[in-house]
Amino acid sequence: MIWNEEFETLPREALQALQLKRLKLLVERVYEAVPYYRNKMEEAGVRPGDIKSLEDLIKLPFTTKEDLRLNYPFGLFAVPFDQVVRIHASSGTTGKPTVVGYTKKDIENWAELMARTLSCGGAHKGDIVHNAYGYGLFTGGLGAHYGAERLGAAVIPISGGNSKRQIMIMQDFGSTVLLCTPSYALNLADVMKEMNVDPASLKIRVGLFGAEPWSENMREEIEKKLGIKAIDIYGLSEVMGPGVASECIEEKKGLHVFEDFFIFEIINPDTGEAVPHGESGELVFTTLTKEAFPVIRYRTKDISRLIAEPCSCGRTFHRMQRITGRSDDMMIIRGVNVFPSQIEHVLMSIEGVEPHYQIIVDRKDALDIMEVQVEVSEQIFSDEVKVMEGLNKKIEREIKDLLGVSCKVKLVEPRTLQRSEGKAKRVIDKRKI
């Protein structure tokens, strides 16, 4: 069922009129409130008055992660700081995270959108929502949490980890809706088997999975192993968090973008032009109501395509195809965004370590594992085992501290890692999703 009948089934013309109204207000407000955006607009030769139709959106310049990095931490905030009631952060490309903020109204809207998302999955008041998305600076945990509360469900804020305990709580508390990454869902299935817990004995009937890419094959596996329906949800901190788009349980084909709150485009990542209707390209989002941290034409680097056909669920929002890949080298390890450049940042900060490294990603027992192979140069080589082991542990510790996810570091002989012409192949991803 649909959480907000009125807005989720708006006829397209009415929806577009609403989008245009909100877009105009957004551009005016941002032009006044955020010097960085104003400068970018002036450089592009565009002023708020130039936005007269939705087609004029393309006159506005793109926003990239680099823009966010340059304005770390609060340079892109569009409200006085005393109106900011929440700060979240996600992985940056180097040593600093990407920071976003929310006003009270932003938080309410976010809860509304997450409630819509949960409704897309058939969740409702009275459900028991088992929230295993990570709580903390990441937007996943708290974003889902507030949405479940708005929905009227009982939230178990269990966050990630400790699978045995999670399963015990599912049994004892009777969780009905599961929220976590798809790979964690498979991990839970494995642990259930070890514990001799029959998934059919649990009350979970649906899972809303996101924060990492996953295939139809994986969906089948999850649905079969856990005996539940599995739907894909999408979001990113820079745009808001979870609740930007969601599959509906009726069709499970493409994710409805909540277009009264976001305008999305699919562009050619090399030229920046819109791709022909229905073709694959990079997802770009413009936020229409966000007060503290609005973004204009934010380039996500996620690859998707537009699905404009009407949906049997009755929602009139266009759909985006499930994410099939990225146009950059970002990886997602156990739900956490990781950029090879972050690893490089750590290595270069340790004296004597040369940036000759390779990252091997694999999945064992449904959990992602990351191994960072680092070449041993003469400068860091010591005749003592304890010194080499100390170095190994130090690199592991610093990577964990910066990235928020742990990895294994393996010291290797020099020149054993691929040397390529031009861009070094930093990542070997052996996972088959």
Partner 1 sequence: MYSVNSVANERGVEMKVEQISIFLENKYGRLAEVTEVLAKAGINIRALSLADTADFGILRLIVNDTEKAKAVLKDNGFTVGKTEVVAVEVPDRPGGLAGILNALKGEGINVEYMYAFVQRSGENAIIIFRFDDVEKAIYALQEGKIRILKGEEVYSL
Residue 198 Cα distances to 128, 223, 225, 230, angstroms: 19, 14, 10, 18
Q: Is 405 in the site for partner 1 (CB under 8 A)?
A: no
Using the contact rule CB under 8 A, the part of the chain among 10-18, 324-332, 359-367, 404-412 near partner 1 is: 404-412
Shortest Å, Cβ 381 to partner 1: 5
The region of 182-190, 200-208, 234-242, 388-396 touching partner 1 under the rule CB under 8 A is: 388-396
- Residue 5 CB, nearest distance to partner 1 (Å)? 60
Among 6, 13, 43, 413, binds partner 1 (CB under 8 A): 413
Q: Is 388 in the site for partner 1 (CB under 8 A)?
A: yes
Residue 415 in the binding site for partner 1 (CB under 8 A): yes
Q: Kindly state whether residue 411 participates in binding partner 1, applying the rule CB under 8 A.
A: yes
- CB nearer to partner 1: give 193 or 410: 410
Number of residues that bind partner 1 (CB under 8 A): 19
Minimum distance, C-beta of residue 387 to partner 1, in the bound complex (Å): 9
Nearer to partner 1, 306 or 374 (CB): 374
Nearest to 342 by CA among 299, 393, 282, 404: 404
Among 195, 324, 381, 428, the residue binding partner 1 under the rule CB under 8 A is 381
Q: How far apart are CA 261 and CA 263, in angstroms?
A: 7
**Closest to partner 1 by CB, 277 or 386:** 386
Minimum distance of partner 1 from residue 383's CB (angstroms): 4
**Quick check: 419 binds partner 1 (CB under 8 A)?**
no
Candidate segments 145-153, 304-312, 387-395, 420-428, binder of partner 1 by CB under 8 A: 387-395
- Dihedral angle, C-alpha 168, 139, 183, 96, nearest 10 °: -120
Which CB, 129 or 380, lies closer to partner 1?
Answer: 380
What is the chain's alpha carbon radius of gyration, rounded to the nearest angstrom? Answer: 22
CB half-sphere exposure, 336, CA atoms < 13 A: 29
Q: Measuring CA to CA, how many Å separate 253 from each of 5, 181, 190?
A: 20, 18, 27
> Is residue 382 involved in binding partner 1 (CB under 8 A)?
yes
Tell me: does residue 351 bind partner 1 (CB under 8 A).
Answer: no
Q: Is 397 in the site for partner 1 (CB under 8 A)?
A: no
Least spacing, CB of residue 352 vs partner 1, in Å: 12
Check residue 399 for interaction with partner 1 (CB under 8 A).
no
Judged by CB under 8 A, the residue of 201, 215, 416, 418 near partner 1 is 416
Which range in 35-43, 58-66, 250-258, 386-394 contacts partner 1 by CB under 8 A?
A: 386-394
- For partner 1, give the closer residue by CB, 55 or 384: 384
Among 412, 417, 424, 427, binds partner 1 (CB under 8 A): 412
Cβ nearer to partner 1, comparing 367 with 412: 412
Based on CB atoms, which residue is closest to partner 1, 178 or 372?
372
Tell me, letter by letter, the H, E, C secondary structure of the chain.
CCCCHHHHCCCHHHHHHHHHHHHHHHHHHHHHHCHHHHHHHHHCCCCHHHCCCHHHHHHCCCECHHHHHHCCCCCCCCCCHHHCCEEEEECCCCCCCEEEEECHHHHHHHHHHHHHHHHHCCCCCCCEEEECCCCCCCHHHHHHHHHHHHHCCEEECCCCCCHHHHHHHHHHHHCCEEEECHHHHHHHHHHHHHCCCCHHHCCCCEEEECCCCCCHHHHHHHHHHHCCEEEEEEEECCCCEEEEEECCCCCCCCEEECCCCEEEEEECCCCCCECCCCCEEEEEEEECCCCCCCCCCEEEEEEEEEECCCCCCCCCCCEECCCCEECCCCEEECCEEECHHHHHHHHHHCCCCCCCEEEEEEEECCEEEEEEEEECCCCCCCCCHHHHHHHHHHHHHHHHHHHCCCCEEEEECCCCCCCCCCCCCCEEECCCC
Residues 188-227 that bind partner 1 (CB under 8 A): none
Question: Per CB under 8 A, which region of 3-11, 68-76, 351-359, 405-413 contacts partner 1?
Answer: 405-413
Which range of residues in 122-130, 187-195, 335-343, 408-416 is near partner 1 by CB under 8 A?
Answer: 408-416
Toward partner 1, which CB reaches closer, 312 or 379?
379
Kindly list the residues in this chain that would bind partner 1 in the complex (CB under 8 A): 376-378, 381-386, 388-389, 392, 410-416
